[in-house]
Structure 1
Amino acid sequence: MKFNKETFVAGFALFSMFFGAGNLMLPPLLGLKAGDAWLMVTIGFIISAVIIPLLGIIAHARLQGTMLDFAKKVSPGFSLIYCLLVYIISITLPSPRTASVTHEMAIQPFFGTSSWLTSSVYFALVLLFVVNRSKILGLLGKFLSPIIFIVVLSIICIGVFSTDAPIIGPSTFQTPVISGLLEGYQTFDAIGAVVVGGVIIISLRLKGEDNFEKNRNLIIKSGIVAGLGLFIIYAGMIYNGALFSGDFEGDVGRTELLSGLSLKTLGNIGKIFLSILVGLACFTTAVGIVTGTADFMKGVFGDSQKVYLITAIIGCVLGVTMGQFDVHYIINVAVPALMLIYPITIILILLNVLPDSFTPPLVFKAVVSITILFSIPDLLASIGLKNFVIPILDILPFGHYSLAWLVPSLITLVLMNFVLAVKTR
């Protein structure tokens, strides 16, 4: 498998659209709480924040259509509803969160300006990039992403090699792997895979690349490059959080911990580097989300460029509005939405990666239906109704780990294929 310049440009562009606010802020605190169990936590986090998103990109490479194709085997109506939910969640939660993080970590400490001003300027620039979307791959892949990667890698390497102190303190997690996996939900990377994967495909078409096999190879290779970058950053930041766990006492916030790590590794100039990093990482993710949403709505309304522009403007206005809330609040609000949409997204990615012989429409319908049904207890528990669903969670495997849907969905997949195989014979 050969990797050329085009592969790395597309790969870094994909990496930058994945790597946003949550990707930067979540791993250090996860490592801090994990302590000596940091490796187990990392494994769980990598599953939901790297492996599943990479499978999502591979699924896009196989389909090379729009996000509607991900669920079309269930039904056209379900596919449309699913896509609308994903895009609504994307432009109302992770996209505004990027502006909120940028304000808290990169603007307010230096300038003391209001969040309204930060969000307004921020999303005005996002809109500028989205309108000029034909240049997105080049700008992100050649310039912004390498800067992001180098700065984060500097923090990680200096942190690892500048201290001989052993990792102290036991893990606060009873099930480190599960805790890491669920925290990976908050990166929105699986949802990001189905959103920004379409951006890559459309960007390639705008450049005149319409060879299916060539695009498939390029998308898969770029996904591997992006996945490798995410793996290095996540593992390194989790390890750094665990490594410096003895230097932070009390209830440390995500932004406070990230600022503290940059100060300890890069010194006073670390704040400036971190500000640049946060701004770039968040900005590229917002561009990817708004572009993906605008692309989708454009396709729904007959390839209308006017709809593309209107959707981009609405996405940016929502970003300015929701960006006024602090990061912690946005993360908490996201939990119920993730408990419902994430399992469906993971299952759709898995089904689209498997060979077609194992995933006829009937299998799609059955597995997705079971996933939705068994995600409801997790959804109810996340909105404060856990006592109501405890009897159900008690009898389901992983029921008390917010994974009540997992085993029933996999059993349904195997059982449906067995039944269809018997009928065929």
Structure 2
Amino acid sequence: MQSKKLSFKQYLIIGSMLFGMFFGAGNLIFPIHLGQLAGAHWLTAGLGFLLTGTLLPLLGIIAISVTRSTGIYDLARPIGKRYATLFMVLTCATLGPLFATPRTATTPFQIGIAGHVSASQAPLFLAGYSLIFFGITYWASRQPSGIMAAIGKLLNPAFLILLALIFGFAFAQPLGKANTAKVTASYQTGAFLNGFLQGYNTMDALAALLFGIVVVNAIRGLGQHNPTAIAKTAAKSSLLSIALEALIYLGLIWIGATSLTAFKLSVDGGLAFSQIANAFLGIPGEIILAIMATLTCLTTAVGLSSSFSEALHAKFPRIAYRTWNQLACGASFLIANIGLDQIIAWSTPMLMFLYPLAITLIILSITSPLFRRDSMVYRWTTALTLIPACLDALNAAPAIITRQAWVQNLLALDAKYLPFAKYGMDWVAPALIGLAIGLSQYAIRRALAAHAIKMNQE
């Protein structure tokens, strides 16, 4: 089918939508915190962060267009229907009411309000703030067709203006020198890989698998129909948004590194960002930052809630979109009230489990035309990725789990036999082995089939 040539304005609209949907809570706080952790090694850590924070989400959207998938379930279906359902539900829950969506409310609260109320008052203020926040989210996500216009035309420019104001002060009057900032122990030698893992916390690669179909459908609506043309359009339209995201990430990481001269290492990036804004602009700076964080997190919350509801309604059509949306917003409100630090602590093991599976799925999907989307290639790669992914999840779990004797024994075996285990990358070697086995089986079957055809012809 012939595809329509898009105008620059249309590319810009798609890129703006991508930026607005991806850039949310974690995209603000984790780069700042990474900069504080990496110190003088901020650039090396930042490059690792960019791989999982910008490149991988784009590849996720391209994977959906290349495979002509209708969503995350369809993308994972070659591995098996049960696996695809489980992976979809876990991803939707992680991006929905379990972790990502509640974090969209707790992050701006931590940045703009938490520092100005007492510890005893904080729970009450958080409850009120999150109730209003998710009330607006529910109202806006009732009609998901309006997301594209709202994000691209209103919220993105407002967010970028506020962010530019903070950056202007930060670069004009830096708090210190990033290249001489203290480097924490784990970033002395493993800055790049640690930055790569910190990029998991943005959850953008998982988000790409969930609402990538929204982007693909938007491109189709503009006249593109061929999967190759859609993939190229997604890549081209994303160049601006990815370049902008990359510059913002590196800027935030640098600001985090410079802040170590004025402040101690913070427990999370939300508190650090609040301190930095106060140092430059005082209370007005914190107000600006709180508005900025609320705007960007609200766009992400609407995108996540509507995508969560659409995905699960498509899979389980007996439950209405409205019901799923009520569940997403209601549960997100409840979980948001346990606080940002607890949400981050419990989300990390889930991300360490899901991300290796998502990365291998994205790579397999993009390269699937080379092996005709053969299920055995998918299954071998995924099967050998699952075990180390489970071990990585255990290793990243809170102390109440990791101090158990049986967990310690498993992690000791993991560190002994699998390379890069201490960096949380022990899944790489098994995944490559599984890929090699799957491709070998595919090649042998193809060769045998070709030989059988030749024998029949003779």
Query: Normalising by structure 1, what TM-score?
Result: 0.92
For residue 64 of structure 1, report the CA deviation from its aligned partner: 4.6
The answer for the alignment partner of 1:80 in structure 2 is 85
SS in structure 2 opposite 1:186? Answer: helix
C-alpha distance in 1 between matches for 2:265 and 2:347: 25
For residue 139 of structure 1, report the CA deviation from its aligned partner: 0.7
Tell me if structure 2 keeps the 8 A contact 1:107–1:118: no
Listed as ranges, the matches of 1:331-410 within 5 Å are 331-358=344-371, 359-383=373-397, 384=402, 385-410=407-432
The answer for the alignment partner of 2:146 in structure 1 is 135
Say which one has the larger Rg.
2
Matched, 1:30 2:34: yes
Matched, 1:120 2:131: yes
Listed as ranges, the matches of 1:81-100 within 5 Å are 81-91=86-96, 92-100=98-106
C-alpha distance in 2 between matches for 1:313 and 1:16: 23
Query: Normalising by structure 2, what TM-score?
Result: 0.85
C-alpha distance in 2 between matches for 1:394 and 1:157: 48
The answer for the alignment partner of 1:301 in structure 2 is 316
The match for 1:7 among 5, 8, 11 is 11
The match for 1:104 among 107, 110, 113 is 110
> CA 1:377–1:279 in 2, change beyond 3 Å: closer, same or farther?
same
> CA 1:139–1:251 in 2, change beyond 3 Å: closer, same or farther?
closer
The match for 2:293 among 271, 278, 281 is 278
> CA 1:402–1:267 in 2, change beyond 3 Å: closer, same or farther?
same
Larger mean CA deviation between 355-364 and 83-92 belongs to 355-364
> CA 1:291–1:164 in 2, change beyond 3 Å: closer, same or farther?
closer
For residue 403 of structure 1, report the CA deviation from its aligned partner: 1.3
Tell me if structure 1 keeps the 8 A contact 2:376–2:442: no
User: Structure 1: where are the runs of 5+ without partners?
Assistant: none
C-alpha distance in 1 between matches for 2:413 and 2:355: 23
Q: Could you give the per-residue CA deviations for residues 137-166 of structure 1, whole angstroms, max 9, x where no partner exists?
A: 011012112222332233234322333943
Larger mean CA deviation between 162-171 and 58-67 belongs to 162-171
> CA 1:373–1:108 in 2, change beyond 3 Å: closer, same or farther?
closer
The residue identity in structure 2 corresponding to 1:280 is L
For residue 210 of structure 1, report the CA deviation from its aligned partner: 7.0
> CA 1:177–1:314 in 2, change beyond 3 Å: closer, same or farther?
same
The answer for the alignment partner of 2:454 in structure 1 is none
The residue identity in structure 1 corresponding to 2:88 is C
> CA 1:164–1:340 in 2, change beyond 3 Å: closer, same or farther?
closer
The answer for the alignment partner of 1:66 in structure 2 is 71
The answer for the alignment partner of 1:421 in structure 2 is 443
> CA 1:376–1:108 in 2, change beyond 3 Å: closer, same or farther?
closer
Tell me if structure 2 keeps the 8 A contact 1:339–1:375: yes
Tell me if structure 1 keeps the 8 A contact 2:61–2:208: yes
Tell me if structure 2 keeps the 8 A contact 1:339–1:379: yes
Matched, 1:328 2:367: no
> CA 1:215–1:420 in 2, change beyond 3 Å: closer, same or farther?
closer
The answer for the alignment partner of 1:171 in structure 2 is 183
Tell me if structure 2 keeps the 8 A contact 1:21–1:281: yes
C-alpha distance in 2 between matches for 1:110 and 1:10: 38
The match for 1:224 among 231, 234, 239 is 239
The residue identity in structure 1 corresponding to 2:62 is I
C-alpha distance in 2 between matches for 1:217 and 1:415: 31
Listed as ranges, the matches of 1:145-294 within 5 Å are 145-163=156-174, 165-167=176-178, 168-172=180-184, 173-174=187-188, 175-202=190-217, 211-212=225-226, 215-249=230-264, 251=266, 253-294=268-309
For residue 108 of structure 1, report the CA deviation from its aligned partner: 5.1
For residue 370 of structure 1, report the CA deviation from its aligned partner: 0.8
For residue 310 of structure 1, report the CA deviation from its aligned partner: 0.6
C-alpha distance in 2 between matches for 1:240 and 1:266: 15
Q: Could you give the per-residue CA deviations for residues 333-366 of structure 1, whole angstroms, max 9, x where no partner exists?
A: 1112112111111111111111422342110011
For residue 217 of structure 1, report the CA deviation from its aligned partner: 4.2
C-alpha distance in 2 between matches for 1:250 and 1:293: 35
For residue 376 of structure 1, report the CA deviation from its aligned partner: 2.1
> CA 1:36–1:208 in 2, change beyond 3 Å: closer, same or farther?
closer
> CA 1:276–1:396 in 2, change beyond 3 Å: closer, same or farther?
same
Give the CA RMSD over aligned residues. 2.4
C-alpha distance in 1 between matches for 2:16 and 2:282: 28
Tell me if structure 2 keeps the 8 A contact 1:199–1:288: no
For residue 109 of structure 1, report the CA deviation from its aligned partner: 5.7
The residue identity in structure 2 corresponding to 1:417 is L
User: Structure 2: where are the runs of 5+ without partners?
Assistant: 448-458
C-alpha distance in 2 between matches for 1:241 and 1:88: 31
C-alpha distance in 1 between matches for 2:330 and 2:297: 17
C-alpha distance in 2 between matches for 1:232 and 1:12: 15
SS in structure 1 opposite 2:352? Answer: helix
C-alpha distance in 1 between matches for 2:142 and 2:218: 13
C-alpha distance in 2 between matches for 1:103 and 1:244: 21
